[in-house]
Structure formats: C-alpha cells, structure tokens
Structure 1
Amino acid sequence: MPETTTPAERRRRFDRSALRADLRAALPDATAALAVTAGIFAWLYARVSSGESMTLQVMPDLADADRYWMYWLCQAFGWSGLLWAWITIMLGLVRSGARPGRVGVPAARIERWHRTTGLTTIGLMTAHAAMFFAELVRGNEDGLSWPGRLATSFAEVFVPGFYSSGTGRIAILIGLLALYLAIPLGLLYYLRRTTGPRMWRALHRFVIVVYVLSVWHTLLYGTNVWYDSAFRTLVWLLQLPVAVLLLVRLLAPARPGGRLGPRDAARSPGPLSAARLIGRVAAAATVVVLLVVVATGRDGGRTPGVTGAGLNVGQGQVWAGLAVLLVAVAVVAHRLRPARRTVTDRAGSRRGGPPLD
C-alpha cells in the first residue's frame, strides 16, 4: 500500500505554531534592533554630512547624504544585522555548551533568545539587501524604463554572481549566499518533526558558516571599515569571543556523542573522530590568529593613499566552496535521516499486527 499522510500530519511537518510564538516573542528584540539601526543611520548620516566618513575617499559622489539616504540606511541595516548575528551566534554557542546554566539563565530561555534573535537577524539581512535594491532602482536611470530598472537592480542584488563591479563581484556574492543559507538553516528548528531532532541539530550547526560569510562580506564591502582602523579593530575584536566559545564548545560538548576522549574515540568511526579533531585544531588556530590581528592591527586592510592588492578569491572559488558545503550538508542529512514510517505502519503497530499490503 502506498504511503499516505493525513492533512493534520502534513500541517505538523512545519511547526507553524512555534514559529508564530517565536515571532511574537521577537517583537521586543526586533524593536530594539530597529532602534539600533536608526541610531547607526543617524550617526553615518552625520559623518557623511560633515565629510568625516572615510567612505567618501572611495566614493566621493555619496557625499550628498540627502540624495543617497537609502544607501546609508542599507549600511545601517548591515551593521545592525552583523551585531544581531553576533548575538545569535554567542547565544547558540552558550546554549550548546556543556553547562549553559552557569551563566545564571535557564537553558530554555537562552534557547528562546537564540531563536528570536535569529529571526531578527534574518529580517535585518533582508532589509539590508532590500535597501540596496531600492538605491540601485533609484540610481539606474541611464536609458532604462521602470521595468528595466527593476529587473536590472533585482538581478544585481538578489541573483548570486550577477553583480560584476569591483569588490562587489565577491562581496555581494558571499553576502547573498549568507542570506540564502541563513533562511533554511535558521528555520530548521520548525521542521524538527520532519527531520528528527538529531538531523536538525546537526544541520543547524552549519549556520556558523553564515556568520563567517557575513563577517567576510562586511570586511570586503563595508566601506566604513576599509580605512577606519577603529571599525576594523572592532569587527576583529567581536570575533575573538566567538572563536573562544567555539573552541570551548568543541572541547567540552554538551552531548557525549561529540566528545573526543580515548573511550569516545573508540566508539566513533575514524573519519568522524578525525573531523572533530580537525575542528578543534582549526578553532584554536583561529583564536591565535585573531589575537595576533588585534594586537598588531595588521589584517590586510586598505591604507589611505596606497593602492590595495587585488582580490585573491574569485567567484569560481566561492562557488566551489559552496558546492563542498552543500555536499557536506547532504551527507549529514542522509546519515541522520529518520526512519520513514507510514500511517499504515503506525496503525498496524497499534493493533499489534503487521501493516496491510
């Protein structure tokens, strides 16, 4: 007999009630994020109006703050989005550690904060892209009709690899990949009834890649950080606690299955133990690199009056990295897929007999 599902079961595949509850709980968080965004926008606007913004050394046409207000609002959403992504990652690492209760907050509350800030982060990332789209629509006036301006701007902002100018060839590509990966990886919790708890937890861990791409996007395309050493130092400093918490999380995971002691390694397959060891070594090396960068201030950033080096990463390498990531996600999903049970199977089990054919 073919597999069948009832309408109630189809609705339960995606936990809409939990999503609605988290969206309601995220309202104060989102309000605070908008307030922070407004403050950042006012500050950026004032710096441009006074001529203090280092961005004007790269793009002097943006000195008209009133004309390009949508661009500066886009930048403000980008900065608040990065801040909320940092908060979300920190909460997730604290929650998934061996003793989340040591911070004095119940683990369930930390997990709720992690989910609500994650939803806010996705909203801020979307607003960041939307404001850039609006600015391009306004600016694409050269012989284009309104449909042409909308189509061209949409492709440049929302189609990965379409933007072809300067640093944006890479920066916008990885920013879009971060956005498009954040949505499914961030919402996996609400599909846990379908994927099973082991799969969604394992796949959700890949969200750290979204954060890395977001930081990379900021350092590549955030014109505020190109020449302002204080901005760059702040961005790097924020990564230090993330790297330390990630290392602690890897060294002392909450679940016994993720530990790497001699007895644990004997119970785990060789490739899995090797992967865990590589992750710990990489996290430790990252902490050292971050400390060196913060201490020396030398991170390969631009210097006023000096021609910077060209991009050392091309779109092909980014796409290849994405392919490797998707293969890893597919392997994890296949390995942890839950056993498929039909309605008939469950009915037969309840009756104490085998399912009917």
Structure 2
Amino acid sequence: MSDVRRARQRQWFDVAAFRQDVRAALVDATAALVITLAVFFWLYRRIESGSSMTLQVMPDLADAGRYWMYWMCQAFGWSGLLWAWMTVMLGLLRSSRRRDWLPVSVARIEKWHRTTSLTTVALMFGHAFWLFAEFVRGNEDRQGWAGRTWSAFVDTFVPGAYSSGTGKVAIFIGLLAFYLAIPLGLAFYARRSIGARVWRVLHASILAVYVLSVWHTLLYGTNVWFDGWFRTTVWLLQLPVAALLLIRLLAPASRPGRGRLDLLGRAIGRTCAAATIVVVLVVAASGRDGGRTPGVDGAGLNVTRTMIWIGFALFAAGVTAFVYRAQRLTSSRQARAEQEVETSPA
C-alpha cells in the first residue's frame, strides 16, 4: 500500500473526493441556476399580471419590483425541491438491486446522486439567503443596518425564532431540513472514518430531510396553496419516490441484517411506504391536502413547534440508537477478525 493511500485512509474527511464531486457538480449547478432564474421570471410575471393566486393571501406583494428578492427566494425553493426529488430518486435507484431496464451503469447513477445532492444543499442555502435578504430590506422599523441584519438573521437561520403566521412552523421545518441535509449529506466523505455500517444508517435517515422539505413546501409554498394543478403535480411526484422506496425495502442492493431490530425497521419502512402511496393517490384525487382554500380564512395551525421539537428529539434518538448498534456490530466484527488472525497458525 502506497504512502498516499495510507494518508488518504487516515484522513477523517475525504477532501479530495469532495473537491472532485464539487467540480463535477458545476454543470449540474449551472442547470439548476438556469431553471431557478426561469422560475423567478415566471413568478415575477404572474405577480405583474395579477394572475398569481398568492395575491389572495398576501396582496401587499403585488409590487413585483419591490419584493423581487422574495420571489427569488421562492424560485430557489422550487428548484431546490426539484433537485431534492431527483437526488432522492437517484439514491433509491442506486441502493436497490440492479434492474436490467436501467439505461446507465450503477456507477453513473451514484455519481449523479452525489452531484445532485451537493446542488440541492446549495439551492437550499440560496432559498434561505434570499429570504434573509428580503427580511433585511423589510426590517425598516429596526434602527441601523446592524439591527436589521441581526433581526433578519435570527428570523431566517435560527430554528423556531420566526413568530408570525404559518412561518412559525413552516420556516422551522425548512430549517430543520437544511441543517440535517448538511451533515447527513457530507457523511459520505467521512465513511472511511465512521465506518460503512454507520454511514449507511446516517444516509438512510436523510429521507427525513426530503419529507421535511415537501412538508415545508406544501405548508408554505404560496403557489401550492391555491393552484390546483400545481398542487396535484407536486403530490403526484411523490408517487415514484414512495414506489422506489418500497422496492428498495423489498429488494435492497446489499444483504440486509436479520436481527429483530432490522426486521422491525424494514416492516415499519414498508408499511410507511405503502401508506404513502395510498395517501398520495387519495390526496391527488380529492385535491384536499390541508393547504389553504380560496375564499376561506386560514385555520389555526394543527402542528406546533413543541410537537416538532418532540418529533425531532425522537428522530435523533432513533438515529443515535441505530448508529450505536451499527458501531457495535462493526467493532464486534473487527474483534472477531483480529482474534482469527491471532489464533491462526503461523
């Protein structure tokens, strides 16, 4: 083994692989930026023409030129959700058993999965940044740039700090998705240090980020609130995700564990995936998803920040338990291997 290879294995974070994927993601990110700008101009024109149903909720946004940063925030949010959908689809394809109908190799799918994941995180940051910029501009009651900037930073980037309307929950959910996406996504480049089993647990839990992102969009996406066809499209796009997740759980690429906890986890996962398919079909057919309805005043929030904190704590506890178990299994396997080496004849 060369010294270079040994040094790379000792390195906690694979910087070289990360840089390589960042360079590979430039083309992907450029395409995402082009689509983001296209969505921005589409939203901008809808406001200018008065055809946006968003104006029924927030008529003050009718001045498209003044609130252009808000619409840029919305555009990054929509392209971020699209890229999140693509990277989840690619990840589920990669982690399922090889299908003969796939036109590309598994290695190519994995590369696309990594690059789209990095682009998704960048789009999520862009979504938050432009909301922060709009808050800075809109905080006219604050004295001085320092006060306006600090208030905007707290409202945008501190979970649970925003305290107005639906944003009390929606922005909170979006921030949890953003802050979870960074460590869970970058864990790939530390898999040699943390171990393959631990990395698989962390990587599987990243599905929670996608669920939170969709929830954030359906709860706070102004276009989804009223545009029936758009809302239905967003829901129907979740069908292939749920279907691939079910396939992934029924036919994983790697040999699954046979312990009681593994069997329980797969049973819960399969049930949730199947239930998701049913729910999506019902919602798409009925058009009722809990979003706002034209001409009806918004009802109180059914979910509170306390509920979300409790849910997040349970999620973190569950992931921690699975990580601990994976680490114990890895340590046990290594100990057995070392014992076999010591007891083997010279």
The two structures have a TM-score, normalised by structure 2, of: 0.91
Aligned residue for 2:124, secondary structure, equals helix
Structure 1 Cα separation of the partners of residues 241 and 9 of structure 2 = 38
Which residue does the alignment assign to 2:102?
Answer: 103
Which residue does the alignment assign to 2:3?
Answer: none
Structure 2 Cα separation of the partners of residues 13 and 55 of structure 1 = 47
Which residue does the alignment assign to 2:335?
Answer: none
The counterpart of 1:335, out of the listed 288, 308, 325, is 325
Moved over 4 A (4+): 7-11, 338-341
List per-residue Cα deviations over 1:87-138 (Å, max 9, x = no partner).
0000000000111553121101100100000000000000000000000000
Which residue does the alignment assign to 2:261?
Answer: 271
Structure 2 Cα separation of the partners of residues 176 and 74 of structure 1 = 14
List per-residue Cα deviations over 1:10-37 (Å, max 9, x = no partner).
9611000000000010011000000000
Are 1:280 and 2:239 an aligned pair? Answer: no
Is the CA contact (8 Å cut-off) linking 1:100 and 1:107 kept in structure 2? Answer: no
C-alpha displacement at 1:8, in angstroms?
4.2
Is the CA contact (8 Å cut-off) linking 2:72 and 2:130 kept in structure 1? Answer: yes
Which residue does the alignment assign to 1:231?
Answer: 230
Which residue does the alignment assign to 1:345?
Answer: none
Which residue does the alignment assign to 1:70?
Answer: 69
C-alpha displacement at 1:60, in angstroms?
0.9
Matched to 2:33, the amino acid is L
Are 1:81 and 2:80 an aligned pair? Answer: yes
Structure 2: 5+ residue runs without aligned partners?
1-5, 332-337
Which residue does the alignment assign to 1:197?
Answer: 196
The counterpart of 1:325, out of the listed 315, 323, 329, is 315
Which residue does the alignment assign to 2:187?
Answer: 188
Are 1:302 and 2:324 an aligned pair? Answer: no
C-alpha displacement at 1:210, in angstroms?
0.1
Residues 339/275 of structure 1: CA separation in 2 closer, same or farther (3 Å cut): closer
C-alpha displacement at 1:246, in angstroms?
0.6
Structure 2 Cα separation of the partners of residues 131 and 322 of structure 1 = 26
Which residue does the alignment assign to 1:246?
Answer: 245
Matches within 5 A, 1:121-270: 121-257=120-256, 268-270=258-260
Aligned residue for 2:237, secondary structure, equals helix
Is the CA contact (8 Å cut-off) linking 2:8 and 2:14 kept in structure 1? Answer: no
Is the CA contact (8 Å cut-off) linking 1:196 and 1:338 kept in structure 2? Answer: no
Is the CA contact (8 Å cut-off) linking 2:195 and 2:330 kept in structure 1? Answer: no
Structure 1 Cα separation of the partners of residues 278 and 256 of structure 2 = 27
Matched to 1:207, the amino acid is I
Is the CA contact (8 Å cut-off) linking 1:160 and 1:176 kept in structure 2? Answer: yes
Percent identical pairs in the alignment equals: 62
Which residue does the alignment assign to 1:93?
Answer: 92
Number of equivalences: 332
Residues 187/138 of structure 1: CA separation in 2 closer, same or farther (3 Å cut): same
Residues 9/92 of structure 1: CA separation in 2 closer, same or farther (3 Å cut): closer
Structure 1 Cα separation of the partners of residues 298 and 205 of structure 2 = 32
Which residue does the alignment assign to 1:55?
Answer: 54
List per-residue Cα deviations over 1:238-266 (Å, max 9, x = no partner).
111101111111111112225xxxxxxxx
User: Which range moves more in the overlay, 74-83 or 102-111?
Assistant: 102-111
C-alpha displacement at 1:339, in angstroms?
8.8
Structure 2 Cα separation of the partners of residues 97 and 52 of structure 1 = 43
User: Which range moves more in the overlay, 226-235 or 30-39?
Assistant: 226-235
Are 1:289 and 2:279 an aligned pair? Answer: yes
List per-residue Cα deviations over 1:32-63 (Å, max 9, x = no partner).
00000010001000000001111111111111
Residues 63/332 of structure 1: CA separation in 2 closer, same or farther (3 Å cut): same
Matched to 2:82, the amino acid is L
Is the CA contact (8 Å cut-off) linking 1:101 and 1:107 kept in structure 2? Answer: no
Matched to 2:81, the amino acid is L
C-alpha displacement at 1:338, in angstroms?
7.1
Compute the RMSD of aligned alpha carbons.
2.2
Structure 1 Cα separation of the partners of residues 260 and 321 of structure 2 = 16
Which residue does the alignment assign to 1:261?
Answer: none
C-alpha displacement at 1:282, in angstroms?
1.5
Matched to 2:201, the amino acid is A
Which residue does the alignment assign to 2:40?
Answer: 41
List per-residue Cα deviations over 1:152-173 (Å, max 9, x = no partner).
1000000000000000000000
